[in-house]
Every structure is written in C-alpha cells, then in structure tokens.
C-alpha cells in the first residue's frame, strides 16, 4: 500500500509581484510535499486532538457517510504524485485574474500527466456543480487577542477534467461574496480589503491541510479513498503562505505529514495559532503606515522562508525579483538567500480556442479546417476582419475593417499601466487612423480616478476610443479575437496571460519588456517590445509614455505598409504551443527533484489525458 518516506519539502512559487506599495498583490505558490506513514484511511477517522494554539484550540474532523463514496480502499496507481493545490481563486468558479486562470489550467494538465490532483479553495458561492461531502472540520479560531470561537467548515466537492475540486464552506467566504464571485473575493470593492482577510485565509490554510486526510473521494477507477498523507501541497500566493507554518507546527510536530513539505499588525501574530518560533520568519519593517505604522508580520516573507524551494512564473521575473526592492516586493534580500526558479505559465487552450470559442461570431484557426459536420473554420486572415467589425459594432465604434484596432485587457491596478496608456493615447490617437478598446476589471471606490480616466476616453475620442470598466468575459474574448494588436504596458508582469491569449488568437502583442512578457514575446517575430517601464506607481513617467507612442507607431506602420510581415507575425503567434502541456512537464520535473510523494513521473498524456478525460465538462 502506501509508502514510508523521509525528507520534508516545502517550495514557494511566486507568481505575482508588487512594487513600492504596502498593498501588493503578490502571489506566492508555495509547495509542500508530504509523505508519511502507511495510509490506511478506511472511511473517516477522528483526527487526533491537536493543540492548535496556545489558547487550546482544537481541531477535530468528522465525516458522515456520503452517498457514492467508496468503502475507503486506497488504490495506488503506481506512478505519479498526489498533488493538492491551495488558492484563494480557482477558475472558472472564482477568478479576479491570472491566479484563477492558473488554478483552472495547471491542475488538469498535471492530472493529464497521471497524477492525482486536488484543488482546495473557498466556496464563495453556491456552485451548482459542487456537492456537500458532509465532511466537517471544527476549529477554534481567534477572533481577537482574547476571544476564541469554535467554527465548523464543510467541504464541498466536484470532479472535473480529472481534478478533485474541493471548496471550503464557511460564512467568512460565502456570506461575504455570495452572488458576487469574480469581484468581491478580497474586498467589498477594488482597493479595499475585508478587515478579516487574515482570519479568512488562515482558515483556508488550516482547512486545506485537513482535506486530503478527511475526504474520502471516489471519482474514477484509478483513485479512491482519501489522498492520505503522501501528498504534495502547492500553496498559491500570500493567501496561502501560512501553509508551511501550520504544517510544521500542527502536523509534523505531531508526527502527521511528517515528510511533508500581506502584511498585518505585528500583534496579530498571536491570532495565527502559531508557536513563537515562527515569529522571526514573519517579522517585517517597512516605511508604510498601512495597515498600521511600524513593525508588521509579512505572510509572504514567512512563506518564502519556511519553504524548501521558491518558484516563480517566468525565468525573467525570477531575475527581476532579486534585482532590487522595487521588483522584489521589498523581499529581494530574503529572496537572494533562496534559489528562485522561473517556469513560464501555460494558458487554458480549451477556454481560449478560436476554433471553438462560444463568445465570438465565427470560429477560425491558423488555416482553414473542415469540421466533422463538414462546416469550415475560417482561416485567420478571413475571420479577423469579420470579428473586428463585430467588436466595433458591439462597443459602438465606427465599423470599418480597414482601421487597425488596439485592445487592452487588465485589472484596474497600477501594475497594468492603464494610466500610462491613457497618457499615451492623447499623444498618438489624433495622428493615426486607429481605434482603441480598453477593458478593465474590478472597478470600485478604491480606484475611482483610474476608472474615470478610462470612461472619459469615449467622451474625448468618440470615434476612436472606448473604455469599459467591468469584469466582462465575453467582451474579453471578443477583443482578443477582433483586435489587431493587444497592448500590455505593464510596469511589472510576473508572467502575463493576456499576451498568450492574444497570440493564440492571432492578435499581435505590443508589450513592456518585463517579466514573462520578455520570455514569451519575440520582438519582430511574435510581437513588439516597448522597453521596460519605471516601476514607480505613483507617477506616470513621460519616458514610458513615449515608449508606448513610438512602439504603437512601429506596429501601425507594419499594419499599413507591410501586410505580408503582419500576416507572417500572425502565423508565428498562432503556430506556438502555448498550452499547459510543456509547463506541466516542467512542474513535474521540479516536483520530482524534491523527491516528493510518488517520486515517479506520471504517465504521458495529451492535455486531457485518459485519466483526466473522464470528465472534461467545464462548469
Ligand atoms: N475586465 C476583465 N474582464 C474579463 N476578464 C478579465 C478582465 N481583466 C482581466 N481579465 C482576465 O484576467 C486574466 C488576467 O491574467 P494575467 O495573467 O494577465 O494578469 P494578473 O495580473 O491577473 O495575474 C497574475 O498572475 C498571473 C498567473 O500567474 C501572472 O500571469 C500575472 O503576471 C500576474 O500578475 C486574463 O484571463 C484576463 O482575460
Ligand atoms: O488573479 C488576480 C490577482 O489575484 C490576487 O490579487 C489580489 C490580492 O491578493 C488581494 O489582496 C487584493 O488586492 C488588493 C490589495 O490587497 C489592496 O490593499 C489594494 O491595493 O487593492 C488590491 C486590489 O483590490 O485583490 C487582488 C485581486 O484584485 C493575486 O494576489 C494576484 O497575484 C493575482 O494577479
């Protein structure tokens, strides 16, 4: 049956970043590998009473019977690892941006390689496809320094594209976000965080550590029963950076998961249910007043320090992270002590497929393809003018296929450089026959001035510009398909998915030379580079405005004067394999190099491989 192995691992994978701001949206994928004693979970056992915190917190797990679950036999597939991804977002159930995309796409790709894969994320809404497992875990959580309350979380579950999708149900998630998923995951509006995010995400981390032990899952003939303790946890972003600490303090110190592997007020450390020995890993000073002045705890710092390895989402960003405090989220010194490995993200080629995309008027591919029903996909050069016209009509711009259209899609954050773009538009729009369509997400009181800039565009340039401040998936697809160019003027960009989506749709990216944009876009071959931008978010640097103006000029010249070059670039973009298949193999190598659970490569497979093929429906 299960194996006994030694060595503990914890790996961090940074896939977001932040600049000179306390309120960084830095992402951290932290990976914990756990292997331990023989796993013989037949049904549910009561988890030992575990001292969770000095205030005598208790963790118990109960499982009631769930129709359809197995007798609890653990079937060992022979190859592959047990992987548990933990994150605040998991697309398409919850997504505010690229983090949700990665959690949507990478796990199925790992499942396709023959690994048993689970994701654990909050149940923000009543997802129609996820069922109550009736498995409960009780925690005592500290609401304040003196108040401790008993809390119960439930696990909901579904199995899709070969992945066990587990959702942690608790009022801290559901009651706050219910019916508003996609926009209110982290706060009531953009730029404002829920005051109890620390509590919410520490609860997620604690619940996630229980899920593989207590959930008795039977989804296909290859795997059944709980995942057990022979598991690799992959914790994403600062929200889950407490995982390694809880793992060490609550589990490994008790002989459980033995082999495994924001910034808040310093006084809040006592709310985290962690022993004092971890204090120094969290200890952090910065020059900002938020959330309070002076000394703080920093979850990211602890996640990085307590992990065995640090990964990030592109090789170039890995270098940038240690290049200085501005790109290293003020953690560059800490990061310099670690080896940061960069592995580029893939994209979800099912959701983003011009040949099947349900949001666009006609489907297309790099060449004409006859479908099974004998109808044709159009060839890209025939389809794009039609899709451009549909896009122009949809946003109310003059419909004219000869006018080049530039698109921009991104969260309304300083990172994305929409303010630099707005300044640049005023410099190039009157000089050129061009249209520009900007789609920004999560508008809210926190970013009112940015939002205004975007909405003013159509007042200033009624025939040339449109700005939409909404999270709008259909429009994102229409822009990606119908625009000629996609502008990505990011001040920093750990990987970036927008440019990958664009290239797959034959839309040529015009990018800032930072992070994953450097690794994924080749100047003159698959896109245009603008040079790197000033990372200071508070001001718009005129030099960056000029970089946009000049490079847009170059791109428009190619559009107007050398259509053959343009057509070649479109072919170059579309002929790349941008799927998760290659990145998933890299991930596998990285995980295997840890000697993690299974420690064998999985089986080779297509992106949706035999194991994962059993349920390919997306919600
Ligand atoms: N208004 C809107 N309406 C609909 N959809 C919208 C939208 N605005 C954005 N999106 C969608 O959100 C996603 C954005 O992903 P990105 O990776 O480009 O950036 P993000 O900064 O969110 O991700 C972070 O994490 C990812 C994953 O690691 C890194 O690639 C990236 O560099 C890092 O900043 C895309 O799927 C895009 O279509
Ligand atoms: O998938 C998209 C991104 O999702 C995450 O970013 C969120 C971040 O982790 C949250 O803390 C919050 O960020 C807000 C920040 O905390 C606040 O002080 C203020 O600066 O506004 C920010 C935005 O509202 O929301 C972010 C999502 O919008 C993840 O961390 C990123 O890596 C992903 O790119």
Q: Output b/e per residue, 2-24; b: 16+ Cβ within 10 A.
A: beebeebbbbbbbbbbbbbbebb
Q: Which of 5-9, 27-31, 316-320 has the highest mean pLDDT?
A: 316-320
Ligand number nearest CA of 437 is: 1
The CA 496 to ligand 1 mean position distance, Å, reads 7
The CA 53 to ligand 1 mean position distance, Å, reads 37
Q: What is the pTM of this model?
A: 0.84
Question: 370-382 pLDDT, tens per residue?
Answer: 666 666 678 999 9
- Return the number of other C-beta atoms located less than 10 Å from residue 286's C-beta: 17
pLDDT tops 60 at residue 460: yes
296/599 Cα distance (integer angstroms): 38
pLDDT tops 80 at residue 580: yes
pLDDT tops 50 at residue 282: yes
Are 166 and 226 a contacting pair, CB within 8 Å? no
Enter the tokens of residue 550: 């000049």
The CA 61 to ligand 2 mean position distance, Å, reads 32
Are 348 and 342 a contacting pair, CB within 8 Å? no
Residues 6+ apart with CB under 8 A from 394: 475, 478
Residues 6+ apart with CB under 8 A from 375: none
pLDDT tops 90 at residue 481: yes
Ligand number nearest CA of 87 is: 2
Q: Closest Cα to atom 20, ligand 1: which residue?
A: 98
The CA 41 to ligand 1 mean position distance, Å, reads 39
- Return the number of other C-beta atoms located less than 10 Å from residue 218's C-beta: 17
Question: 493-511 pLDDT, tens per residue?
Answer: 999 999 999 999 999 999 9
Q: In what order do the strands lie in the sheet with 508-511?
A: 465-469, 435-441, 405-411, 485-488, 508-511, 528-529
Are 106 and 346 a contacting pair, CB within 8 Å? yes
Q: How confident is the model at residue 445, as a pLDDT?
A: 52
Q: How confident is the model at residue 598 (pLDDT cuts 50, 70, 90)?
A: low
ipTM above 0.90, yes or no: yes
Q: Closest Cα to atom 27, ligand 1: which residue?
A: 98
Mutate to test the pocket of ligand 2, among 22, 25, 96, 263 (most ligand atoms within 8 A of CB): 25
Which residues form the pocket of ligand 1, taking CB atoms under 6 Å from any ligand atom?
Answer: 15-16, 27, 97-99, 101-102, 313, 345, 409-411, 439-441, 471-473, 476, 493-498, 516
Q: How confident is the model at residue 311 (pLDDT cuts 50, 70, 90)?
A: confident
Are 267 and 292 a contacting pair, CB within 8 Å? no
**Higher pLDDT among residues 30 and 119, named by residue:** 119
Q: How confident is the model at residue 65, as a pLDDT?
A: 27
Question: 403-418 pLDDT, tens per residue?
Answer: 999 999 999 888 999 9
Q: How confident is the model at residue 166 (pLDDT cuts 50, 70, 90)?
A: very high
The CA 179 to ligand 1 mean position distance, Å, reads 21
The CA 190 to ligand 2 mean position distance, Å, reads 8
Which residues form the pocket of ligand 2, taking CB atoms under 6 Å from any ligand atom?
Answer: 16, 23, 25, 27, 89, 96-100, 186-187, 190-191, 193, 237, 411, 442, 446
pLDDT tops 90 at residue 147: no
Q: How confident is the model at residue 172, as a pLDDT?
A: 93
Mean per-residue pLDDT for 105-121? Answer: 91
Enter the tokens of residue 245: 């600490």
Q: Closest Cα to atom 26, ligand 2: which residue?
A: 25
CA 376 to chain centre: 34
Report the nearest atom of ligand 2 relative to the CA of 89: 1
Q: How confident is the model at residue 57 (pLDDT cuts 50, 70, 90)?
A: very low
Mean per-residue pLDDT for 309-335? Answer: 84
Q: How confident is the model at residue 251, as a pLDDT?
A: 72
Question: 183-234 pLDDT, tens per residue?
Answer: 689 988 767 889 899 999 999 999 999 999 999 998 766 778 899 888 888 8
pLDDT tops 80 at residue 327: no
Q: Among all chains, which residue has been given the structure tokens 């093929």?
A: 613
The CA 101 to ligand 2 mean position distance, Å, reads 14
Give percent helix, percent strand, percent coil of the chain, each to the nearest 5: 35, 20, 45
**Which of 45, 40, 42 is CA-nearest to residue 63?**
45
The CA 307 to ligand 1 mean position distance, Å, reads 26
Q: How confident is the model at residue 163, as a pLDDT?
A: 93
Q: How confident is the model at residue 25, as a pLDDT?
A: 30
Reduced 3-state DSSP string for 472-516: CHHHHHHHHHHCCEEEECCCCCCCCCHHHHHHHCCCEEEECCCHH
Q: How many residues does the chain have?
A: 619
- Return the number of other C-beta atoms located less than 10 Å from residue 362's C-beta: 16
Distances (CA, A) of 166 to 87, 118, 129, 416, 528: 11, 7, 11, 31, 41
Q: Closest Cα to atom 17, ligand 2: which residue?
A: 191
Are 294 and 264 a contacting pair, CB within 8 Å? no
Ligand number nearest CA of 88 is: 2
Q: How confident is the model at residue 9, as a pLDDT?
A: 31
Q: DSSP for 228-239, please give it.
A: TT-EEEEEETGG
Q: Among all chains, which residue has been given the structure tokens 């503990």?
A: 8
Q: How confident is the model at residue 354, as a pLDDT?
A: 95
Report the nearest atom of ligand 2 relative to the CA of 15: 32
- Return the number of other C-beta atoms located less than 10 Å from residue 342's C-beta: 25
Q: How confident is the model at residue 72, as a pLDDT?
A: 30
pLDDT tops 90 at residue 314: yes
Report the nearest atom of ligand 2 relative to the CA of 290: 18
Q: Closest Cα to atom 9, ligand 1: which residue?
A: 410
- Mean pLDDT in the chain? 80
Element (H, E) at 421: helix 418-428
DSSP conformational letter for 142: E
Question: 547-576 pLDDT, tens per residue?
Answer: 999 999 999 999 999 999 999 999 999 999
Question: 10-23 pLDDT, tens per residue?
Answer: 344 454 543 222 22
Q: How confident is the model at residue 203, as a pLDDT?
A: 93
The CA 147 to ligand 1 mean position distance, Å, reads 38
Mutate to test the pocket of ligand 1, among 28, 409, 455, 583 (most ligand atoms within 8 A of CB): 409
Q: Which of 23-27, 128-132, 607-611, 612-616 has the highest mean pLDDT?
A: 128-132
- Please give the share of the chain, as a percent, with pLDDT higher than 90: 49
Q: How confident is the model at residue 446 (pLDDT cuts 50, 70, 90)?
A: low
Ligand number nearest CA of 19 is: 2
CA 280 to chain centre: 28
- Please give the share of the chain, as a percent, with pLDDT higher than 70: 78
Are 74 and 42 a contacting pair, CB within 8 Å? no
Are 457 and 469 a contacting pair, CB within 8 Å? no
Q: Closest Cα to atom 18, ligand 2: which residue?
A: 23
Report the nearest atom of ligand 2 relative to the CA of 16: 32
Q: How confident is the model at residue 601, as a pLDDT?
A: 58
Ligand number nearest CA of 414 is: 2
Q: Which of 228-232, 398-402, 583-587, 596-600 has the highest mean pLDDT?
A: 398-402
* 418-428 helix and 542-561 helix, angle to the nearest 10 degrees: 60
Question: 227-268 pLDDT, tens per residue?
Answer: 988 888 888 889 999 998 888 887 766 676 665 547 888 888
Q: How confident is the model at residue 512, as a pLDDT?
A: 98
20/288 Cα distance (integer angstroms): 10
Angle at 245 between CA 240 and CA 247, to 5 degrees: 90
In this structure, is the dihedral angle defined by the CA atoms of residues 368, 369, 374 and 377, taken in order, positive or negative? Answer: negative
């Amino acid at each position: 049956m299960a194996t006994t192995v030694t060595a503990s691992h914890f790996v961090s994978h940074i896939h977001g970043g932040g600049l000179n701001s306390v309120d960084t949206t830095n992402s951290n994928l932290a990976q914990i590998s756990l292997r331990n004693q023989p796993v013989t979970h037949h049904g549910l056992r009561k988890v030992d009473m575990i001292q969770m915190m000095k205030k005598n917190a208790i963790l118990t797990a109960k499982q009631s019977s769930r129709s359809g679950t197995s007798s609890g036999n653990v079937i060992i597939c022979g190859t592959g690892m047990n992987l548990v991804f933990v994150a605040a977002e998991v697309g398409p159930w919850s997504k505010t941006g690229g983090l949700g995309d990665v959690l949507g796409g990478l796990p199925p790709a790992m499942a396709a390689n023959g690994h048993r894969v689970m994701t654990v994320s909050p149940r923000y809404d009543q997802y129609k496809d996820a069922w109550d497992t009736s498995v409960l875990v009780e925690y005592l959580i500290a609401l304040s320094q003196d108040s401790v309350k008993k809390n119960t979380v439930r696990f909901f579950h579904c199995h899709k594209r070969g992945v066990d999708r587990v959702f942690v149900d608790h009022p801290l998630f559901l009651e706050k976000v219910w019916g508003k998923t996609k926009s209110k995951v982290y706060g009531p509006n953009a730029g404002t965080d829920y005051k109890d995010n620390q509590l919410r995400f520490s609860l997620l981390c604690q619940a996630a550590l229980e899920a593989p032990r207590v959930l008795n899952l039977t989804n296909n003939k290859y795997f059944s029963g709980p995942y057990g303790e022979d598991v690799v946890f992959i914790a994403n972003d600062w929200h889950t950076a407490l995982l390694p600490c809880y793992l060490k303090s609550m589990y490994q110190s008790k002989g459980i998961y033995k082999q495994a592997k924001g910034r808040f007020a310093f006084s809040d450390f006592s709310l985290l249910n962690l022993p004092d020995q971890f204090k120094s890993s969290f200890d952090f000073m910065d020059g900002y007043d938020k959330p309070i002045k002076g000394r703080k705890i920093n979850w990211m710092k602890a996640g990085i320090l307590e992990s065995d390895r640090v990964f990030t989402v592109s090789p170039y960003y890995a270098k940038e992270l240690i290049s200085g405090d501005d790109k290293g989220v003020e953690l560059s010194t800490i990061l310099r002590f670690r080896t940061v490995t960069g592995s580029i993200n893939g994209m979800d080629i099912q959701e983003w497929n011009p040949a099947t995309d349900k949001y666009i008027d006609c489907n297309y591919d790099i060449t004409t393809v006859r479908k099974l029903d004998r109808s044709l996909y159009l060839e890209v050069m025939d389809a794009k003018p039609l899709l451009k016209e549909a896009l122009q009509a949809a946003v109310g711009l003059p419909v004219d296929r000869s006018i080049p259209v530039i698109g921009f899609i991104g969260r309304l954050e300083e990172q994305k450089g929409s303010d630099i773009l707005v300044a640049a538009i005023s410099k190039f729009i009157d000089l050129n026959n061009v249209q520009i369509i900007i789609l920004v997400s999560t508008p809210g009181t926190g970013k009112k001035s940015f939002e205004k800039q975007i909405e003013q565009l159509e007042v200033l340039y009624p025939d040339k510009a449109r700005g939409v401040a909404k999270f709008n998936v259909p429009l994102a697809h229409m822009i990606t398909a119908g625009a000629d160019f996609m502008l990505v003027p990011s001040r920093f960009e750990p990987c970036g998915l927008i440019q990958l989506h664009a290239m797959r749709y034959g839309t040529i990216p015009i990018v800032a030379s930072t992070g994953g944009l450097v690794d994924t876009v080749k100047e003159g071959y698959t896109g245009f580079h603008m040079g790197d931008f000033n990372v200071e978010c508070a001001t718009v640097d005129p030099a960056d405005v000029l970089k946009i103006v000049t490079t847009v000029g170059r791109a428009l010249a190619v559009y107007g004067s050398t259509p053959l070059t343009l057509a070649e670039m479109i072919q170059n973009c579309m002929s790349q394999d941008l799927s998760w298949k290659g990145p998933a193999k890299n991930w596998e190598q990285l995980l295997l190099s840890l000697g993690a659970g299974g420690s064998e490569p999985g089986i080779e497979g297509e992106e949706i491989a035999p194991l994962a093929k059993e349920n390919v429906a997306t919600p």
